Amino acid sequence: MEADKQDGGLRLPISLSGEINAATRTLHTSLNRLITSRLPLALPPHTSDPSLYAAGILHFAHIFLTFESLWADILRDHVPPSFRSTSAQSGSTSLPLDDGEITSPPTSPLLSYLLVNPYDSPSLFTSTLGAPTPPSSQLAAFLQTLRPKGLVRSGRLKKDLEYLLDLHPTDLEVLLAKYPGDRVAEFCTHIRKSVNEKPWTLVSYAWCFYMAIFSGGRWIRAGLMRAPPGFWPATREEEAGAGAGLDEKGLSFWHFAGVHDGEDIKAGFKERLAAAEGLFTPDERVDIIEEAKSIFQLCATLVGELDHKVGADRAGADATELARDEKTSNEDQSLVEAENASGALPTQFHKPCDLVTIFLRRPEVKGTLVALGCLACVTLLSFQ
C-alpha cells in the first residue's frame, strides 16, 4: 500500500486496526461508560449474589456463540482438512474450543437456523441474489489462522453459565435455545446476515470482542475478583476443599491459559491481523469498519435492554414484597378486630403492637436483629 500525501508531505498508511480505532473511538468511549457505570451495581453492596452479573453474561454470550459458530462453519466448509491439520499443529484452532481444557460442541440449539425467521432473513435460506457469499480460499485460510490457540471464548462462556446458574450442560443448551430479549435476537440475526453476505466482517467481530477482553476485560475481571468469597456460589468440590478457582469456573471467560495471562495470545492475534493488510479490497475494508461501528451500537442496545429487564425485575420484586406486607397487615388487622369483638383490649392498644409485629416480620429487619443479637453476645462474652 502506497503512502498518502498530506499537507505537502508523506503520511504512512493507516493500518486496518488503526482505521477501526479511529472510526469507532466515540462509540467505543460511550459503550465503555455504559458498562463501567453498571458493573458496580452487579456487585456488593448493591447485591448479595451474582444473578445480575449472570444475566448480563447470558445476554452477551449469545453474541459470542453466534459469531464463533458461524466462523467454525466457514472453516469446516471452506478450509481443506489438510490445511486445518497443519494449522492446528501451528497453534490455531478452527472450532470454538479452548486449549483442550474446556471443551464444547461447535454448535448448540441456539446456533441452528431454527431460531431464524425465514421471512426476516430470506437470504439465509435461498440461492437467489443476496444468498450466502462463499469466502475466497485466501480469506478462508486467513480466518483459519487469525485466532491463536486459546482465544475462542464459547466453551468458557458455557462453563461459566453452568456454574453461575447451577445448570447441567443439557439444561443450559435448552436455556440458550431461547433469546433472553428482543435486542439479543436482533443482534444475532444481524450477525448471521452480515457474515453470510460478507464473511470478511468476521474480522470486525474478532477485533471488537477479542480486543475488548484483552483491554477492558482486565478491568472488569479485577472488579469481579474483588467480590467477597461468599458472593460466588460454591460447588460441591469447593465445599470439599478441592474445587477449581474462579479462573476456571465462574470467571473463566476473563482468564487465559498460560503464564502470560493472554499477552502472548493478544500479540499473536495482532500479528496475524497486521500480516493480512493486503488481503482485503478497499470495499471490504469499508465493510469491516462499518460493521465494527454497528457492533458498538448494537452492544449499546443490549445494555439498554438489560437496564429495562433488571428494572422490571426489581419493580416486580418490590411489588410482590409490598403485596405480601399488605396481606400480612390485613391479616393482623382482622385478628385485632376479632379480638376486639371477643372483649379483648381496645383496638387503640393493639395497633402499635401490630405495627411493630409487621415491621419485625420484614426479612431485612429480622436479619439485622439477628446480627445485632450475635454482636451483643460476642461483646458480652469478650468482657467475661
Among 16, 15, 13, which residue's Cα sits nearest to residue 204? Answer: 16
The pTM is what? 0.71
155 pLDDT more than 60: yes
Among 286, 146, 271, which residue's Cα sits nearest to residue 206? Answer: 146
SS3 state at 10: strand
- Distance from CA of residue 41 to its chain's centroid? 15
- Distance from CA of residue 206 to its chain's centroid? 15
Asked if residue 148 lies in contact with residue 92, where contact means CB atoms within 8 angstroms, the answer is yes
pLDDT for 237 equals: 56
Domain boundaries, the chain: 4-316, 324-382
pLDDT top residue among 32 and 97: 32
SS3 state at 371: helix
Q: How confident is the model at residue 379 (pLDDT cuts 50, 70, 90)?
A: very low
Q: What is the per-residue pLDDT across 250-261, written as a single tens digit (0 to 9) for each?
A: 999 999 988 898
The sign of the CA dihedral 220, 225, 228, 229 is positive
Q: For residues 55 and 173, what is the distance between their CA atoms, to the nearest angstrom?
A: 16
What are the start-end ranges of the H helices in 147-279?
154-165, 169-176, 182-197, 202-205, 211-214, 216-225, 236-239, 263-274
> What's the CATH code, domain 4-316?
1.20.910.10
Q: What is the per-residue pLDDT across 293-329, written as a single tens digit (0 to 9) for each?
A: 999 999 999 999 999 988 755 544 444 444 454 555 5
52 pLDDT more than 60: yes
Which cell numbers in the block locate residue 230? 461468599
SS3 state at 5: strand
With a pLDDT cut of 70, the percent of the chain lying above it is 62
332 pLDDT more than 60: no
Averaged pLDDT, 270-289: 94
The string of DSSP letters for 201-214 reads GHHHHIIIIIHHHH
Q: What is the per-residue pLDDT across 124-141, written as a single tens digit (0 to 9) for each?
A: 444 444 568 999 999 999
Whole-number Cα distances in Å, 248 to 42, 43, 212: 20, 20, 20
